[in-house]
């Protein structure tokens, strides 16, 4: 298993198992994110999908989740993207 210098936890750890995403983002994830952080994101993504009722059948839903992933894994700085804080501000019905 190859090791990566993870940009999120700033440790040298095992790279992500398998290929989570195709294309450029998949390559970036494999080069910059460790398997530990990837698993954390996986857990977080389930919370986001449930709390925000994200439909992965829609392009919009997939884009939303991809944006959240980039923010969570520090692949992008939140400038004009809308970040959600799942722990801090859960939506109230």
Residue 70 CB contacts under 8 Å (≥ 6 apart), including other chains: 76, 81
The count of residues interacting with Zn ion (CB under 5 A) is: 5
Q: Judged by CB under 5 A, does residue 75 bind Zn ion?
A: no
Whose Cβ is closer to Zn ion: residue 36's or residue 65's? 36
CA distance 50 to 9: 26
Q: Judged by CB under 5 A, does residue 74 bind Zn ion?
A: no
Alpha helices in 1-93 (DSSP H): 23-32, 35-52, 59-72
Q: Judged by CB under 5 A, does residue 34 bind Zn ion?
A: yes
CA distance 16 to 87: 25
Closest approach, Cβ 53 to Zn ion, in A, equals 28
Q: Residues 8, 28, 40, 66: which binds Zn ion (CB under 5 A)?
A: 8
Please give the residue ranges that form the binding site for Zn ion (CB under 5 A): 6, 8-9, 34, 37
């Amino acid at each position: 298993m190859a090791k990566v210098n993870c940009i999120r936890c700033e440790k040298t750890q095992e790279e992500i198992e398998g290929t989570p995403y195709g294309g450029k983002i998949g390559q970036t994830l494999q080069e910059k994110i460790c398997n530990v952080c990837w698993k954390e994101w996986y857990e977080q993504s389930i919370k986001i999908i449930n709390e925000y009722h994200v439909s992965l059948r829609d392009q919009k839903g997939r884009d939303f989740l991809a944006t959240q992933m980039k923010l969570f894994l520090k692949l992008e700085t939140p400038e004009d993207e809308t970040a959600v804080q799942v722990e801090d501000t859960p939506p109230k019905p």
